[in-house]
Structure 1
C-alpha cells in the first residue's frame, strides 16, 4: 500500500491515483433495484454484498449506501467497520455511478463525474444513480468536477504514472460519445486527468457495459498487467478474450516501458453450471483494499487456486481473499464493479 504525501506533478486538472495507493474507505451501495431483479436474485445479491463488505472491512473502512428500510439490518449484519449511510440509489454498481476520486492542483481531494448515462441508455429506473455522484460528493462537502466525456469508472484503468487502459467499445461507442474521435477523447483525458498515453483494447460488442476494461486487463503496478484469458472454447467470450490479449501484446506505457503481461485463466465454463452468457466469471475484477485483495471464487478448484496463487505471487504484500459472488456476477458485474475506493487526503 503506497501512501502519497503530495500530488505528483501532472499536466491535468486532476491526478487520479492508482487503486493500490492508500484508501480512506471503500464505498458500496446495498441492492435496491427490486423492479430489475427477481426476489431470489435480490436476496442472493444482498447476502453477497454483506459478505463482500465484511471481507473488505478486514483491511479498510467501508461505507455502505442504504435505503431507510435496510439501515437497521445492515448495521447489525455488516459489523463495526462498516458505516451505513442513508442515500437514494438504485443499483449496486458504485464503480460506475460514484465519482472517480483524485486530487486537484492544490492537492485537495475531489471527484470526477463521468456523466453516467446507464451504459448507453440501456435501462430505465436509474434516475437516482444518474445523480448519485453529485449527491454523494455534496453529502461529504467535496468538489465534483464534471467531465466532457461520458463513460464509467469501470471503463478506465489508471496506473498513476501517466497511462490509462480502456476499450474502444466503451469510450468510442456512439451510445456514449457520438461524434468524438479517439483523438478527441485522448485530449479530454489529458486535460482532465493528465493522461499521457492511452492503451486502447477492442473490448466487446454488446453486453451491459459494452466491454469495460476491468474485465480484460488491470495494472498491478506501472508496466505490469494481469490479463483475463481462457483456454475453454465453450466460454462465450473465448474469442473476445483472445483478441484483447493479442492487442495488449507489444504495448508500451507513458514512460516507454514494454508491458509485462501475466494471464489469468477464467473458470472453466462447464464447471460453472447453469448461468447466463452475461455471467461475469472474472478473477481480475478484484478490489484492492489497504494491504488486501478481494477476488472471486467459483468452485472450480483448479482455476480458483491458480488465480489465488498468481495474485499472491504478484502482490506478496497483500493478503488475497476469495469469496463467492455468483449472484453479483450473474447480474453482469463483479467485485470491482460494485466497489469504489476513496483515496486518503494528502497531508
Structure 2
C-alpha cells in the first residue's frame, strides 16, 4: 500500500480552490452571526457560556478517541485554570490535562506554532498515562505506527504513518508550513482551507505515540482562531463526534493521494455545521436565561430540580423527551405528585406536551430562533 507521504511530491497537497470559495464566504458570514448573537448577553453570561463551550469541546474531543471524561470535573478544572474559582477535589489527571490544553489554546491562539507548544499539549493530555513511552516528545520507537482494526489473524491496516526516523524533519517542515500560511505569514491561506490542510497534514505525520487526533483538532481550531483573530469557540469536536464514522472514513479516503479537494470540502462543511451548532448553543443559552427570568419564583423545589436536569442535557435534550418516569426518578416523588407537577408546568407554559398515555413526553418551552 502506498500512502500520501510516500508520494514524491509530499507534502505538496493539491486541490481545486474554486470549490471552497462559497464555503469560505459562508464561514465568514456565520462568524459574524456568532459575534452578533453573543452581543445580546451580559459579561457574566458570556463567561459562563465560554466555560460551557470549551468544556463541551474538551469532553467531545476526548470521546472521539474513546476516552470518557466527567463534564462537571472538566468544567471545575477550566474555571480554576481561568482564575474563576478553586478546583474541586478528585479531578482526574486526564480531565485536568485536557482542560489545561484547551485554556492554553484559548489564551495563546495567536502565538506562532513550535515544538514546545505541542510538547506541552502532549504532556497535558497524557500526564496520567503510564503506558506511553514518549510523553512530551515525538515518537522514537522503530515499530510502524499504524491505524488498524480487526483480529490479529485478519487485521486491516487503515493507515501507516511515516517512520519515527523522519519525525524531526517532518515536523520542522509542518511547523514552517503552519506559520507561513497564517494571516501574517509568507503564503497566507483562507480559514477553512488552512484548517483542513493543517488537520490532515498533521494526522498523516502522526508524530506522537498517542493524542494525535486531539492535538490535530486543536491545531485546526488554532488555525481558525488565528484567521478570525479571536478564539473561535467552535463546536468542532462536538460536531465530529456526532458523525464519528464519517470523520474516520473521510480521513481514510484521503490518506493515499495528495489531491485533497474531497477532504477539504468535507472538513469545511463540518466546520460550517460546527458553527451552526455553536450559534444554536448561544441561542439556547439566551433562551435558558429568559426561561428562568420568566418563571422565577413560580416553581416548587421538585420542578426546579427537574428543569435544571433538563437544561443540563443541553440543546439535544432528553432523547425522545422527558417522561413521567424520568420526573419521578429525578424529583424523587410519587406518580400522583409527578402528574400534578407536570400538568402545572404545562399550564404555566414552561413545558410543552406531546403524545398520549405512556407515550406522553415533555419538552422545555423555549423560543429559539436558530437551529443546529
Give your verdict on TM over 0.5: no
Higher strand share: 1
| Structure 2 length-normalised TM | 0.28
Q: Higher helix fraction: Structure 1 or Structure 2?
A: 2
Query: What TM-score, normalized by structure 1, do the two folds share?
Result: 0.30
Query: Rg: which structure is higher?
Result: 2
